[in-house]
Structure 1
Amino acid sequence: MREGARRLSDPNFSFQCSDTDEEFNDRHSDFSGNEPEGSPMMKSPWNPDGTPWSMSNLDDSSCPMNGLVGSLVREEGHIYSLAAEGDLLYTGSDSKNVRVWKNMTEFSAFKSNSGLVKAIIVSGEKIFTGHHDGRVRVWKASSKNPTHYHRIGTLPSVYGFFKCSMRPKIVDVRRKHTAAVWIKHCDVISCLSLDQEVGLLYSGSWDRTFKVWKMSDWKCIESVKAHDDAVNSVISTVEGFVFTGSADGSVKVWKREGKVRKSLKHIFVKTLLNQESAVTALAVSLNGAFVYSGTSDGIVNFWVRENQLAHGGALNGHKLAVLCLSAAGSLVFSGSADKMICVWKREGVMHTCMSVLTGHTGPVKCLAVVREMESTTARRWKVYSGSLDKSIKVWSVSELAPVMQQMSVPSNGNQIRSAKY
């Protein structure tokens, strides 16, 4: 960790690796979705009827093409992670709860006694959550009662961890760690990514590594010491390429070689970025044509795959650190500590800030984007944003919306040298 490092947006706490887990207890969640009377649900200013969500009719011509259509506020903690799949939205906060929303109403919830939820990712019926204790939990809804979620696995499992601990002579010479340490993150899990095609889950951590897990049996098959500081983002993309961004200020490219069932390993390819400001977020366009990175100086850099990942430019739209990124269609969304979301429109390699979404009263920490509807005139996206103001907002954004606002922001000299996000 560099001198002057700061952990932004996270409670201060001391962390130690633990060999124990709540897996020894009931594997079902101890959370009840039915809050007691007087649950701290706050009314949203966009929510006059008092229901948790208030959604405008997106087909209504009175609905702005780019704008806020719903908001939820709960006094239960900062929102650190979001994942959207179909009509379901999963939200993670430092309350340890993962809440599930369906069609904009509270549907279910589950909880793990393992610290705040830093990352959520969905694969079919399974939900993967990354936690402060360095483990990944796997959840699934009950077939009999879809509102009840139960935990079906932990990565690594207690059995697997202790099994490795019984064989301390198995040592990773490069890291001088026993296999038991090698298969478990020893700090916060900050990010998750899936490669559905080959059945791999990637987890990045503040312990400076990313690990590779087989989804078939949830075993750790590789641990890569990737950076000199916390890994803030990991993304698996087409043709076996993996991108990692770190608080050490670098973006690195890795290439998967070998087969999952045999000698799979990830080879370092190149460094795309190496600077003083921490890399806080990564995003890749659907076809892998563009790679984006957000940094603590408020800049979004991008690289073009067809030009052998040559640097394509920098998008200057924020006054403070970029904390999250998402790409959908021809649009790129960047959320920032300045409380704003910039919507960038890509045409060729040119990017224009077509809209600025404002409404949060705290840093925008996470984003999730899903297709809202098919149209003969425009593609419209539903954008979820989670903030440290403890709210989640829902936006409707069209790729063909007129330019609502363009930003000209002076360069910001207050850079964070090293930060964990």
Structure 2
Amino acid sequence: MTTREAGAGFAETDDMPPRPKYDPKVSVSSSAILGPIPPSAGEDDDFAHRHSSFSLASPGFYDNGRMSGEGSPMMMSPWNQTGASPFGSSPWSATFDNVIPQNTLIGSLVREEGHIYSLAASGELLYTGSDSKNIRVWKNLKEFAAFKSSSGLVKAIIVVNEKIFTGHQDGKIRKWRVSPKAPSVHKRSGTLPTLKDIFKSSINPSNYIENRRRRSALWIKHSDAVSCLSLDEEHGLLYSASWDRTIKVWRVSDSKCLESIQAHNDAVNSVVVSVDEIVLSGSADGTVKVWKREHAGKSTKHNLAETLLNQECAVTSLAIIKSCSMVYAGSSDGLVNFWEQGGGAKFSHGGVLKGHKLAILCLTAAGSNLVFSGSADKTICVWRRDGTVHTCLSVLTGHTGPVKCLAAEEDTDTTRNNGDHRWILYSGSLDKSVKVWSVSEFAPDVSQMSMMQQPQQMSLDGDSIPSNSSFSSTATGSNSQNRSAKY
């Protein structure tokens, strides 16, 4: 595989097909859909077809009898179980089913260059980041562009209009821009904080603080890996969470660091922006904290309003449905707690979603009803919300490694006469692949799915079978996990 220099990209060809319509009556071959091999593919690249499936349920997805710490990422180390990849060295492969069920795999993007740590969907484009330091851009299931950072695996990506921000293992946030003359060309346009701000701050001794390694460092710089980025588009603010236990607030317009929040006692794994100027953070110290933002002149001030969760196991990921003010927190014990936001910073605990047997590694929401959870157990649970009642519509399987990141966008190309509302879900895994799923908000036809999966002998339990009842409960369980779990 040829290594691309930063700024290198691919021009879109005239014969590039649009995203395929999912007509269950038509069988489409991958060669007809996928088109020509991207220019970067080597001559010895081969295309491998891999069949994936999803299941309505999987036996024992949550086991109340498992011993304390069994699912701990520190003990199991699922992301280190990389082994030999089952995929070929082809840049990507895709398969399509003759009969399209409610939720199904529609393609795979595979690059044998590193584990996938981050995703961002923006319109027709999908950005993927890996530990190879590359950021790749995909369009219509084809590689469209690529650019590379000088150091640090890509742990977070966020897209703001024509600007792309990436958070890295080396503690840096890099900013990229799309060339106005060539949409496939991305060029680095700076870092956060800027060199100018670093120089100005370094002159004043009061701008130095003691970091977690007991070394002196500028407060405007992260001293450890950037684990997450979140955008407050309305106010033009970018939030970065880090393993250095802080959250930093950046003004997008000029990349200025407005505030550094000493947020947690351990690595901050996730940060999300809610409504009413509320920000939430989740940490390896086992807490979920609520922060209320106040404006102080040209700067900001975030005050701790409430601690929603305080547990032994690490909080690994957060997601929010802003339209109904629902907040979800995934943990290393495989559980997802959720809360409903009332007025201001008041939250009420709604229950716990039980669908996984290993650590939750990522969460994302789609629309006002769907929530997706990805886990170290290599599966993705699709949850539908009705008020505070949540039903597991299906469990998506097919990854051969832990599911590390998720992104979703509305599928505007697919319309159904019955009013079915569908979403495109992207899942990145430590198996070095990104899988693309078509997901419906409708509940699956259990009898139809049973016929399709007759070869599988499934043992359904009460925590994983789709039903009209909720899988949630107010009990958080007694399974304690090791802290200091970083994601």
User: If the length of structure 1 is used for normalisation, what is the TM-score?
Assistant: 0.85
Please point out which of 79, 85, 100 is paired with 2:116.
79
Please point out which of 327, 345, 354 is paired with 2:365.
327
**Equivalent residue letter for 1:285:** I
Alpha-carbon separation, structure 1, partners of 2:131 and 2:47: 18
Pick closer, same or farther for the CA change 1:255–1:35 going to 2, 3 Å.
same
Alpha-carbon separation, structure 2, partners of 1:176 and 1:129: 24
In the alignment, does 2:321 pair up with 1:285? yes
Residue number in structure 1 paired with 2:437: 395
Give 1:163 shift: 2.3
* SS of the residue 1:355 aligns to: strand
Pick closer, same or farther for the CA change 1:209–1:42 going to 2, 3 Å.
farther
Pick closer, same or farther for the CA change 1:109–1:250 going to 2, 3 Å.
same
Residue number in structure 2 paired with 1:4: none
Higher strand proportion (structure 1 or 2)? 1
1:180-227 superposed Cα distances (whole Å, 9 cap, x missing partner):
610000000000000011110000000000000011110101000000
Pick closer, same or farther for the CA change 1:334–1:173 going to 2, 3 Å.
closer
Residue number in structure 2 paired with 1:357: 396
The question of whether the paired residues in 1 share the 8 Å contact of 2:209 and 2:218 is answered with: no
Give 1:416 shift: 3.3
Pick closer, same or farther for the CA change 1:124–1:247 going to 2, 3 Å.
same
Alpha-carbon separation, structure 1, partners of 2:44 and 2:226: 30
Alpha-carbon separation, structure 2, partners of 1:264 and 1:53: 47
Alpha-carbon separation, structure 2, partners of 1:143 and 1:193: 25
Give 1:63 shift: 1.6
Greater RCO, CA 8 A, separation 6+: 2
Residue number in structure 2 paired with 1:141: 178
Alpha-carbon separation, structure 2, partners of 1:345 and 1:292: 13
* SS of the residue 1:253 aligns to: strand
The question of whether the paired residues in 2 share the 8 Å contact of 1:318 and 1:409 is answered with: no
Pick closer, same or farther for the CA change 1:175–1:118 going to 2, 3 Å.
closer
Please point out which of 300, 308, 313 is paired with 1:264.
300
Please point out which of 417, 420, 441 is paired with 1:378.
420
Which deviates more, 205-214 or 410-419?
Answer: 410-419
Give 1:415 shift: 2.8
Residue number in structure 1 paired with 2:280: 243
**Equivalent residue letter for 1:154:** T
Alpha-carbon separation, structure 1, partners of 2:252 and 2:349: 34
The question of whether the paired residues in 1 share the 8 Å contact of 2:209 and 2:217 is answered with: no
Alpha-carbon separation, structure 2, partners of 1:306 and 1:170: 38
Identical pairs, percent? 58
**Equivalent residue letter for 2:330:** G
In the alignment, does 2:155 pair up with 1:155? no
In the alignment, does 2:323 pair up with 1:318? no
Alpha-carbon separation, structure 2, partners of 1:45 and 1:360: 10
The question of whether the paired residues in 1 share the 8 Å contact of 2:118 and 2:154 is answered with: yes
Alpha-carbon separation, structure 2, partners of 1:327 and 1:414: 27
Please point out which of 77, 86, 92 is paired with 1:52.
92
The question of whether the paired residues in 2 share the 8 Å contact of 1:297 and 1:416 is answered with: no
The question of whether the paired residues in 2 share the 8 Å contact of 1:316 and 1:409 is answered with: yes
Please point out which of 252, 260, 266 is paired with 1:223.
260
Give ranges in structure 2 of 5+ residues lacking alignment.
Answer: 11-38, 53-86, 450-459, 465-476
- What pairs with 1:14-53 in structure 2 (closer than 5 Å)? 29=6, 34-35=39-40, 37-38=42-43, 43-46=48-51, 52-53=92-93
Determine which structure has more spread, i.e. the larger CA radius of gyration: 2
The question of whether the paired residues in 2 share the 8 Å contact of 1:298 and 1:412 is answered with: no
In the alignment, does 2:240 pair up with 1:203? yes
Alpha-carbon separation, structure 1, partners of 2:335 and 2:156: 23
Give 1:340 shift: 0.5
Pick closer, same or farther for the CA change 1:114–1:75 going to 2, 3 Å.
same
- What pairs with 1:187-198 in structure 2 (closer than 5 Å)? 187-198=224-235
Alpha-carbon separation, structure 2, partners of 1:414 and 1:358: 27
CA RMSD of aligned residues (A): 2.8
Residue number in structure 2 paired with 1:415: 481
Pick closer, same or farther for the CA change 1:68–1:180 going to 2, 3 Å.
same
The question of whether the paired residues in 1 share the 8 Å contact of 2:271 and 2:282 is answered with: yes
The question of whether the paired residues in 1 share the 8 Å contact of 2:325 and 2:341 is answered with: yes
Alpha-carbon separation, structure 1, partners of 2:406 and 2:237: 23
The question of whether the paired residues in 2 share the 8 Å contact of 1:326 and 1:333 is answered with: yes
Pick closer, same or farther for the CA change 1:142–1:32 going to 2, 3 Å.
closer
Alpha-carbon separation, structure 1, partners of 2:207 and 2:228: 28
The question of whether the paired residues in 2 share the 8 Å contact of 1:165 and 1:179 is answered with: no
Pick closer, same or farther for the CA change 1:106–1:304 going to 2, 3 Å.
same
In the alignment, does 2:218 pair up with 1:181? yes
The question of whether the paired residues in 2 share the 8 Å contact of 1:354 and 1:403 is answered with: no
User: If the length of structure 2 is used for normalisation, what is the TM-score?
Assistant: 0.74
Residue number in structure 2 paired with 1:99: 136
Alpha-carbon separation, structure 2, partners of 1:165 and 1:97: 31
Give 1:133 shift: 1.5
